[in-house]
Structure 1
Amino acid sequence: MGQHALILGIGNVLWADEGFGVRCVETMAQSWAFDHTVKILDGGTQGLYLLPFLEEADVLLVFDAIDYGLPPGTMKVIEGDEVPAFMGAKKMSLHQTGFQDVIATAQLMGYCPEILILIGCQPVELEDYGGGLRDIVAARIDPAIAIALKKLAEHGIHARPGKGDDRYLADASILRGAYEQGRPSEDAACRTGDDRFFPAAE
């Protein structure tokens, strides 16, 4: 019997590039199918609620926006024991510390996946509530998926072209297409603040 894998996207789609990991799993499920031993999951910011999913997995592959201190859009692949350290080394938001705790808890309980892979992308912008992925980060989705497919294949987990299992993704209303089309413009929403309260430029 093949290894069980969990392909997990974490982050908050409401904060611009924070949504990178979630958009990766969403895109992956649209184009790649696996057998029943592989689960593609939008983990959002669920933290410890993800533990039951880790318990089932031999291989955990995570997509996330990670602040590596590198140029925006830079991708980095971390594996094995380094993954928990990177998940909390320079946190950008609560979900990163939360997921580091998830891994630590799974290890303590004796059911952390044996193989850990993190595919991270350096964000451009996070302080934009209601914003979407910046172009340079959105352009990394397909390369990130290509890396994931290669890494999974190295562990005997192969995908085939076609629509995958999307049962564990977000509600259709916040998938990327609906989110981008239904979101008001930056001018209309003034997502970075209210001009009435910004100090006048000197």
Structure 2
Amino acid sequence: MGAKTLILGIGNVLWADEGFGVRCVEELARRWSLGPDVHVMDGGTQGLYLLPFLDDAETLIVFDAVDYGLPPGTLKLIEGDDVPSFMGAKKMSLHQTGFQDVIATARLMGSCPETLILIGCQPEELEDYGGGLRAVVAAQIDPAIDIALDKLAALGVTPTPGQSDGSDLADPSILRDAYEDGRPSPEDACRIGDERFLPGRA
């Protein structure tokens, strides 16, 4: 038997605010022990490779950066049949179309979780390769986690302070603190391309 609730962070941490969902599950797993019926996972940009993880889940909670057309940092909760349409209405990257396919395929196979919950944050910056979350987006990690904890409580899950199993999270070298603190300065790493080919550069 698999976990009854799957909590999934999706997105690409390499593109600034695109990594919001992944950073949410990292922080959730770092601070809370959720018990054997809850599986916390960094889904990254894996698309259809995530299908097996949906098989035994009754509830799917997804954290993601979503273009709602709202001010940066706006947090929005979407539930039920609206989840797939919001994830692809204004796609920001291939992972969103890919996750629409995950849900559609799971439904065709009869293995889609009955309850779908999307906790999304409007990004501010997506074009900064190697950049971290912008402050207005990072500030929504805790509120997003609070929403997830409320949903879990409604399902009868009582989180306790501590850590969840981190085996399905990213390698420690690209967890948020290590990743953002380890970024070279603009003086050491050109932000706008290969400086060998920029006008006026030697």
TM-score norm. by structure 2 comes to 0.94
| Aligned equivalent of 1:153 | 153
Q: Which amino acid aligns with 1:190?
A: C
Q: How many angstroms does 1:190 deviate by?
A: 2.1
Q: Is the 8 A contact 1:128 1:192 kept in 2?
A: no
Partner in structure 2 of residue 82 of structure 1: 82
Question: Higher mean Cα deviation, 52-61 or 188-197?
Answer: 188-197
| TM-superposed deviation, 1:119 | 0.2
Sequence identity percentage:
72
- In the other structure, the counterpart of 2:139 is 139
- Cα distance in 2 for partners of 1:155, 1:115 equals 11
CA distance in structure 2 between the partners assigned to 1:182 and 1:133 by the alignment? 14
Deviates more, 1:131-140 or 1:189-198: 189-198
Paired with 1:199 and 1:66, the residues of 2 have a C-alpha distance of 36
Measured after TM superposition, the shift of residue 186 of structure 1 is 3.0
Q: Equivalent residue of 2:71, what SS? A: coil
**Residue type at the aligned position of 1:46:** Q
State the secondary structure of the residue aligned to 1:189.
Answer: coil
* Residue 183 of structure 1: aligned partner: 183
2:13 partner SS: coil
Aligned to 1:32: 32
Partner residue in 2 for 1:60: 60
Q: Secondary structure at the match of 1:177?
A: helix
Give CA deviations for 1:53-83 in whole Å, capped at 9, x if unaligned.
0112000000000000000000000000000
Letter of the aligned partner of 1:176 in structure 2? R
2:116 corresponding residue in structure 1:
116
Q: What code does the residue aligned with 2:135 have?
A: D
Moved more, 154-163 or 40-49: 154-163
Q: How far apart, in 1, do the equivalents of 2:52 and 2:158 lie?
A: 23
- Which residue identity is paired with 2:116? L
The structural deviation recorded for 1:193 is 2.9
Residue deviations 1:118-141, cap 9 Å, x none?
000000000011000001111110
Structure-1-length-normalised TM-score = 0.94
| Deviation, structure 1 residue 157 | 2.2
CA distance, structure 2, for counterparts of residue 124 and residue 196 of structure 1: 29
- Structure 1: gaps (5+ residues): none
Question: CA separation in 2, counterparts of 1:132 and 1:189?
Answer: 15
Amino acid at match of 2:59: V
**CA-based RMSD:** 1.7
SS of residue in 1 equivalent to 2:49: helix
Which residue in 1 is equivalent to 2:164? 164
Distance 1:192 1:146 in 2: 37
Shift of 1:188: 2.4
Partner Cα separation in structure 1 for residue 21 and residue 72 of structure 2:
15
Counterpart of 2:130, as a letter, is: G
Aligned equivalents of 2:158, 2:92: Cα separation in 1: 33
